[in-house]
Amino acid sequence: RALKKALPNTPLQMLLRGQNILGYRHYSDDVVERFVDKAVENGIEIFRIFDALNDSRNLETSIKSVLKNGSHAQGAISYTVSPVHTLELFVKKARQIEAMGCQSLCIKDMAALLLPVRAFELVSAFKEAVKIPIHVHSHATTGVAAMSLLKAVEAGADGIDTAISPLSFGTSHPATESMVVALQDTPYDTGLSLEALEPIAEHFRTIKPKYNAFLSKFTNVDTRIFSSQIPGGMLSNLEHQLREMGHAEKIDEVLAEVPQVRAEMGNVPLVTPSSQIVGAQAVINVIMGRYKIIPFESKNLFAGKYGATASPVDPEIQKLALKGEEPITCRPADLIPNEWDKLKSELEGKARSDEDILSYALFPKVWLDYYENHIKDKAPAPATT
C-alpha cells in the first residue's frame, strides 16, 4: 500500500508460485484464492505466475483468481535444459498458458542457462505459436544474459527484465542502462535516456551500503552452472549447508551429484521448491550414501504431490521412497481440503485480519514469533471474514 501511494502511476507486480503461493508446499484452493484477493486489494496489479515443474494444473486456481479480480495474469515457463526439454515441449507449455487466459507470457530463466541462439529460437517459436506478448527474464550469473536478451529482442520479445546498474549483474540481471544504450538507434530503441535513469541509479548507489548484510556476495560469473544447472542462490545454500554440517570439502561431490538426482527426479527445473528438494537430497546422498535417507519433500516429489515431471522419475528409487504407496496422477491440490476455516480457528483471538491469517498460513513460525514480540500485548481485533 505504501508503494502504491508513493508510485500511483506504476503498476505493481509480484511473483506468485502458483499453488505454492509464496511457500514451499501446495495450499488449498480457498487459501490461494484468498491470497490473490488480498494481494489485489493491497495494490498488486500484475502477477507473474509459475510452477516449479511447469505443470499447468498447478497454475489453474491462481490464474482464475487473478482474472476474476480484473488483474493481469502473466504465465511463466521455468526454463531449463535436459534431454526432454525440447522446443516442442516449451511451445506446448506456451499454448497452454495462453489457453488458460493469461494476458502475457514470460520465459523465466532462473538459472541463467538461456544461451543467445536458444533465446532467439525460443522467442521466435513463441511469437508464431501464441498471440500474447512475450517477456524474457534471465539472470547474469553465467555471463551470457545480456547477449541472450539482445537476441530475444531481435526475435520479437515484447519486454525484458533488467536491473538499475547499482543492483545489476552477479545473481541479478543485466543493467538497465547498458541495455538501453545497446538498443539505441535500432528498431528496438526503448525511448529511455541515460539522463532520466541516472537519478534512479544514484539513489540506489547511495542507499545500497545500508543493505550489505542482505546482498549476495556473488558478484562475478560462474560457468559451472552450465554443467550443474545450479542457480547462484542454490549454490550458496549448498555451501552453507555443508559448512554447517562440517563437510565444506564435499562441495564438488555435491555439485556432481545434483544433475544425477535431478534426472532421477524427472528432470525437474531447479527453481523453488524443486531446487531445494534436489539440493537437499544431493547433500544427503554424498554424506550418508545414495538414498539412504529420503526426506519427506523428496518422497512427495516421487509421489507426484508436487505435480507431473517432464520425464518419468526413476522407478526403483520411487519404490524405495514410497514403500508401497501408490503415486498420484491427479492435480495435487485436488487432494487438499479447504484450509481457510481451520487456519482461522487456529488463530482465534490472535489474528487481526485476513492478512495475518495468510502470513501464518505461509510462514507459521515467523508469524507466531512476530505475534509474540509485536502483537500479543496489544488487543487484537478478530479477523474480519
The pLDDT value recorded for residue 24 is: 82
The pLDDT value recorded for residue 382 is: 56
Confidence of residue 9 (pLDDT cuts 50, 70, 90): confident
Residues 6 or more apart from 110 whose CB is under 8 A from it?
Answer: 78, 79, 137, 139, 231, 269, 270, 271
* Cβ atoms within 10 Å of 41's Cβ, excluding its own: 12
The pLDDT value recorded for residue 226 is: 85
The pLDDT value recorded for residue 227 is: 80
Query: Bigger pLDDT: 244 or 76?
Result: 76
The pLDDT value recorded for residue 385 is: 63
Q: Compute the average pLDDT of residues 116-127.
A: 98
Average pLDDT, whole number, for the chain? Answer: 93
Confidence of residue 18 (pLDDT cuts 50, 70, 90): very high
pLDDT tens digits, residue range 246-282?
998 998 899 889 999 999 999 999 888 898 899 999 9
Q: Compute the average pLDDT of residues 211-218.
A: 78
The pLDDT value recorded for residue 380 is: 55
Share of the chain above pLDDT 90, in %: 79
- Phi, psi values for residue 44, rounded to 5°: -75, 130
Confidence of residue 383 (pLDDT cuts 50, 70, 90): low
Provide the pairing of β-strand 72-78 with 104-109. parallel
Q: Which of 304, 297, 363 is nearest to 333 (CA)?
A: 304
138, β-bridge pairs: 109
Q: Which amino acid is at 176?
A: T
Return the half-sphere exposure (C-beta side, CA atoms, 13 A cut-off) of residue 81.
17
The pLDDT value recorded for residue 10 is: 85
Is pLDDT above 60 for 59?
A: yes
- Most confident range, picked from 28-32, 227-231, 375-379: 28-32
